[in-house]
Amino acid sequence: MSDVQICAKCVLPSTFPNITFNDNGVCSQCEAGEMTHLQKFNQRQRDEFQRIIGATKGKKPYDAIACYSGGKDSTYMLKMMVRDFGLNVLAFTLDNGFITEQSKSNIIKVVDILQVDHLFFKPSSQFMTRMYRQAIIGDLNKPRGNYYTRISDVCLSCISVVNTCAARLAMQNRAPMIFAGFTPGQIPRAVIKNNHLYYRQTYSLHQSHFQQQLGEEAGRYLNLPEDEYEMYQMSPFLVYERSEAFILDEIRELGWQYPEQLDGCTSNCALNVVGNICHEIIYGFHPYALELSKLIRKGLLARDEALQKLSLTVDEHVTQRAFVKLNITVDEVNQLNTRAA
């Protein structure tokens, strides 16, 4: 890996697909610069975000479902929802079997202080283990076309279950909005309507692929009821851009504490490191390199901090424990580099 070039401005490596570098070592994605009318687009996003909150607030028992992982971003998001937007929130946490004890303690403290209704949902650990194994070793998230996944295969499978749970809860409670703490590097729009171009179509493609790979049981976690209920996916960090330092400062007063023994790109999940390791082996680049690079370009993260996040290692025993829990052997991990081909 010593001959891998890293962009002089962001953290994208020369192993990233389609990337080129200029004479100053700056990558093609940094060179592309901002879109011509980005400021106006951002203003329209802000207006739309606020308009939807104004139009939907107070009409149902819950204004919004919050996807609350217990990490720093979703914790701050929950605080914004309650204190800044004045929303009635039903928060839920998918317990994927790898949420650290410190994270669970953070969740309980935070929802209590913010006086938010909250649910833990823990799918069958047998199913989740099978799904993660299939995501890493099998074909669950193998590129279905010609693209590579932009997040790790493990995270992609997990977020699919989270998104389905959120949509189901919104439908059951007729909540008009779903909030998620995606960063500006993780999602391109602040508001996505559930009937947005291809949303339903791609959802069903995704669903049937999961069922082919994991059997009928997958439907229990990934099927959406036939329901035309319209809701909005809201990503507040695209409208209210906040630095990590600001967020950490803001959530300290809620009693939130940084969990130990995690890699530099998560603040709640001990499985993340497995996804990172496997993604690097299969695709040759860190799954967070793209997202962190976008944050650097937006001025929300310093390049040095991003490099530190990408290189922060986790105690080997912790990583091993996660692999053992997933029933994945060292040999299987070593064979992953044949998968991208």
In the complex, which residues of this chain contact other proteins (CB under 8 A)? Answer: 16-18, 28-29, 32, 35-38, 40-41, 44, 143-150, 187-189, 192-193, 195-199, 202-203, 206, 290
Least distance in angstroms from the C-beta of 107 to other proteins = 27
Structure tokens that stand for 143 in this block: 């590129």
Least distance in angstroms from the C-beta of 117 to other proteins = 30
For every residue of 270-330, DSSP letters joined together read TTHHHHHHHHHHHHSS-TTHHHHHHHHHTTSS-HHHHHHHHH----HHHHHHHHHHTT--H
Least distance in angstroms from the C-beta of 300 to other proteins = 18
| Per-residue buried b or exposed e for 40-63, using 16+ beta carbons within 10 Å of the residue's own CB | eeeeebeebbeebbeebbeeeebb
48 vs 332, beta carbon nearer other proteins: 48
- The angle formed by the CA atoms of residues 160, 157 and 27, to the nearest 5 degrees, is 100
Q: Which helix (H) or strand (E) holds 60?
A: none
40 vs 252, beta carbon nearer other proteins: 40
142 vs 303, beta carbon nearer other proteins: 142
For the beta sheet containing 64-67, the strands, ordered from the edge strand earlier in sequence to the opposite edge, are 117-121, 89-94, 64-67, 177-179, 232-234, 191-193
28 vs 105, beta carbon nearer other proteins: 28
Q: Which of 102, 96, 99, 215 is nearest to 156 (CA)?
A: 96
Least distance in angstroms from the C-beta of 75 to other proteins = 24
Structure tokens that stand for 228 in this block: 């035309």
C-beta of residue 309 within 8 angstroms of C-beta of residue 286: no
2 vs 36, beta carbon nearer other proteins: 36
30 vs 277, beta carbon nearer other proteins: 30
C-beta of residue 147 within 8 angstroms of C-beta of residue 288: no
Least distance in angstroms from the C-beta of 160 to other proteins = 11
Least distance in angstroms from the C-beta of 53 to other proteins = 17
Least distance in angstroms from the C-beta of 88 to other proteins = 26
Structure tokens that stand for 201 in this block: 């179509």
Q: Which of 292, 336, 60, 64 is nearest to 178 (CA)?
A: 64
45 vs 173, beta carbon nearer other proteins: 45
